[in-house]
Amino acid sequence: MNADPDDQPADGGAEAHGESAEPRRSGPHGHIPVMADRIIELLTPALGSAERHSPVFVDLTLGAGGHSELVADTFPSARVIGVDRDESALGIARERLRAHGDRISFHQARFDELPRVLVDADVTSVDGVLFDLGVSSMQLDRAARGFAYATDAPLDMRMNSDDELTAADVLNTYSHGELARVLSEYGEERFAGRIASAVLREREREPFTTSARLVELLYASIPAATRRTGGHPAKRTFQALRIEVNHELDALIAALPAALSALAVGGRVVVMSYQSLEDRIVKREFARQTTSTSPAGLPVELPGTAPRFRLVTRGAERPTEAELALNPRSAPVRVRAIERVEEDRP
């Protein structure tokens, strides 16, 4: 089942994973890997080939380690490099993956720091890379992290607790123009200016510290007619704040070319996106990498201009009904995959 989600509404954050509408269903480590069978199917040609005796797989969004556990179990000769900016996630993943011993290494880093991670891991090329974007189920389920708007919690939203900027800082220090830009650009919020005005007015009375007060402001700022048809009124604002705090889109823009550059011939990058902003970035980069650089209109392709990658998925794949029944948080996911078919040209 394929779809092109370029016109889908922003649907990241808590609601992207079913936070507001579905019961939580988690595995023993607080995470059910989304579209597990399909992800393994997409990675098998890259990691399960008889020609690859010790393939290298990089999980750039390790989280609780669900997808990496599947890869390690499915491909017993594979080496797994697990990357996450969240120290607590790395701790959980280490425990979950302990049985696999030194086949798996763990690195605290943002995914756009992949070149440094590969140097640290003494790796020059990789065979498979996975991006599972957005906020993880584990982070949603920990109210103190402030990602979910259904529970009153500190306005934190940092994926790495060592980072300085929090969601409260954004609300309490950004100018009206800066805040409206964040809400409009990262949340695709129609009422960004109105919300920004309300935030500036309310923070003069008292700084924002917890999510319940912000949710109350959003209910008051967004017209009733929109609230009835547009999903939870906090959805877009929480998504925007999370993206701003963690610089998620900038990191993705930098990380995709780095991951593709690191691929060996026959290697694959698989990306799981949960909202349209992420998916558009992935779609554009994959299109760029799979397009010939020959001038348009020539009867033949010039030597050296053929693309070095090919698309594996047709458009963006969606979860099946069976997947949705197993894991309601998979509802917004869009999966795209790409494969290297030729070495980089000198």
How confident is the model over 81-139, as pLDDT tens digits? 999 998 888 999 999 999 999 999 999 999 999 999 999 999 999 999 999 997 655 55
Name the packing angle between helices 235-246 and 211-221 (round to 10°).
Answer: 130
Q: Tell me, rounded to whole angstroms, the distance of Cα 125 from its chain centroid.
A: 22
275 marked among binding-site residues: no
Which tokens go with 12?
């990241």
Fill in the DSSP letter of residue 288: H
pLDDT of 199: 98
b (16+ CB within 10 A) / e for 285-317: bbeebeeeeeeeeeeeeeeeeebbbebbbebbb
Mean pLDDT across 226-239: 82
Can you tell me the distance from the alpha carbon of 312 to that of 333, in angstroms, rounded to the nearest whole number? 17
Q: Tell me, rounded to whole angstroms, the distance of Cα 313 from its chain centroid.
A: 18
Can you tell me the distance from the alpha carbon of 87 to that of 91, in angstroms, rounded to the nearest whole number? 6
pLDDT of 136: 56
User: Could you tell me where in the chain the CATH 1.10.150.170 domains are found?
Assistant: 144-246
For residue range 291-332, list pLDDT tens digits in order: 988 888 787 888 888 899 999 999 999 999 999 998 887 899
CA distances to 106, 251, 293 from 131, in Å? 16, 12, 27
pLDDT of 228: 73
Instruction: Decide if 281 contacts 254 (C-beta within 8 A).
Output: no
Instruction: Decide if 334 contacts 316 (C-beta within 8 A).
Output: yes
CATH number of 144-246: 1.10.150.170
pTM of this prediction? 0.85
Phi-psi region of 233 (alpha: psi -120 to 50; beta: other; left: phi over 0): alpha
For residue range 33-84, list pLDDT tens digits in order: 889 999 999 999 999 986 778 999 999 999 889 999 999 999 999 999 999 9
Q: Using DSSP, state whether 158 is helix, strand or coil.
A: coil
Judged against a pLDDT cut of 90, whether residue 262 lies above it is answered with: yes
Judged against a pLDDT cut of 60, whether residue 275 lies above it is answered with: yes
pLDDT of 268: 98
Q: Strand 56-59 and strand 126-132: pairing?
A: parallel
10 Å CB burial of residue 121 (0-12, 13-18, 19+) is middle
pLDDT of 18: 34
**108 or 22, which is more confident?**
108
Low-confidence winner among 171-180, 183-192, 323-332 (lowest mean pLDDT): 323-332
CA atoms within 13 A on the CB side of 101: 3
The pLDDT-based confidence of 230 (bands split at 50, 70, 90) is low
Can you tell me the distance from the alpha carbon of 160 to that of 284, in angstroms, rounded to the nearest whole number? 28
139 marked among binding-site residues: yes
Alpha helices of 102-210 — where are they, by DSSP H?
114-120, 137-140, 167-173, 176-187, 192-205
**Comparing C-alpha atoms, which of 206, 236, 242 is closest to residue 221?**
236
132 marked among binding-site residues: yes
Contacts of the segment 41-46: beta carbons below 8 A, 24+ positions apart? 42/268, 42/270, 42/312, 42/313, 42/335, 42/337, 43/71, 43/128, 43/130, 43/268, 43/270, 44/74, 45/266, 45/268, 45/339, 46/127, 46/128, 46/266, 46/267, 46/268, 46/339
pLDDT of 14: 32
Low-confidence winner among 16-20, 53-57, 275-279, 330-334 (lowest mean pLDDT): 16-20
**310 or 346, which is more confident?**
310
The pLDDT-based confidence of 9 (bands split at 50, 70, 90) is very low
101 marked among binding-site residues: no
The CA dihedral of 150, 152, 156, 159, to the nearest 10 degrees, is: -40
**286 or 328, which is more confident?**
286
Can you tell me the distance from the alpha carbon of 36 to that of 283, in angstroms, rounded to the nearest whole number? 21
177 marked among binding-site residues: no
pLDDT of 13: 35
65 marked among binding-site residues: yes
Instruction: Decide if 52 contacts 73 (C-beta within 8 A).
Output: no
pLDDT of 134: 75
111 marked among binding-site residues: yes
pLDDT of 74: 96
Which tokens go with 71?
């890869």
Instruction: Tell the CATH superfamily of the 2-138+248-340 domain.
Output: Vaccinia Virus protein VP39 (3.40.50.150)
Can you tell me the distance from the alpha carbon of 171 to that of 320, in angstroms, rounded to the nearest whole number? 38
User: Could you tell me where in the chain the CATH 3.40.50.150 domains are found?
Assistant: 2-138+248-340
Length of the chain: 346
